[in-house]
Each structure stands twice: as C-alpha cells, then as structure tokens.
Amino acid sequence: MMERPKRPYRNFAEFLVSIQIYWRQETRQDPFLAVEDLDCNLIKYPCRRCGGAGAIFILHPKGKGQCRSEVEDPCTACQGLGKATKKACQEEYRQVIARWKEEAGKYDRLKEVKRRVLKKLTEEEVQALKELGV
C-alpha cells in the first residue's frame, strides 16, 4: 500500500541546517553528525550546491566501502564563499515544499478514488479483493 509522502522539513530553519549536515555526511567529514552535535560554525544561509563548503568535493573509494574526498573546484554558484542569499534559500525551500505538496495531493486524490470505488462494491467483493491482496 502506498504511504502518504512525509513533509521533508518542519520549517525553513531545519531546511538550512539539513543542507550542511547532508554535505558533511556525504563528504565523510562527519558521517554520524546529528543536529544535537552541531556547533556554531554553521553558515546562516549556506549555498545549496556545495553545502556551505565553498568547494565541490568528489568522493573516491579507498577500499572496504570507505571514501575519501578531494576538492574539485571552487563552487561557481557562490564563488567559493559557501554562502547564499536568504532569498535564494527561501526560493529553494519553497520549491521543495511545492514538490511535496504536489505528491501529497496526488496521494490524496488516489485515496479518494479508492474510497469511492470501494463504496460501490458489496462486502463480498471487498472481501475477495482483500484475499487477492489488491
């Protein structure tokens, strides 16, 4: 059975923090970083492309599933500063939430169609569908 999509972020602040956590985990600088472990070195409005690092990293396998990261180039989106504007971060957040609302709307419409179809069936037909796993 299909599940209703979950909201990706509770609010804008969580979105900003998650950008930097994701980047630190992906570059293996701190793969087990949690929100509680964050220090005050966070950038207020981090660049979405580089996660506030100011550079793009490439992951290379070291062996046994471990990776090392190398700096590729300074990020062109933020000119190597790692910072973005509040307006750019808000726009990205709005796009993420809009995609979530669209997926949730599709789910709600499918659920309503299913409810209407099941309402028209008899108890025997519903039981038969349940036995078939539909």
pLDDT at position 119? 92
Quick check: is 61 in a domain? yes
Percent over 90 (pLDDT), the chain? 27
Say if residue 40's pLDDT is above 90.
no
Quick check: is 55 in a domain? yes
Distances (CA, A) of 23 to 31, 61, 102, 118: 10, 17, 26, 46
Quick check: is 26 in a domain? yes
Quick check: is 1 in a domain? no
Average pLDDT over residues 65-82: 72
Quick check: is 56 in a domain? yes
Backbone angles phi and psi of 129, in degrees to 5 = -65, -40
Quick check: is 60 in a domain? yes
Model pLDDT for residues 92-118, shown as the tens digit of each residue: 999 999 999 999 999 999 999 989 998
Average pLDDT over residues 79-92: 87
What is the residue range of 104's domain? 12-132
Say if residue 60's pLDDT is above 70.
no
Quick check: is 54 in a domain? yes
Quick check: is 2 in a domain? no
Residues 6+ apart with CB under 8 A from 73: 55, 56
C-alpha neighbours within 13 Å on the C-beta side of residue 1: 7
Higher pLDDT pick, 94 / 30 = 94
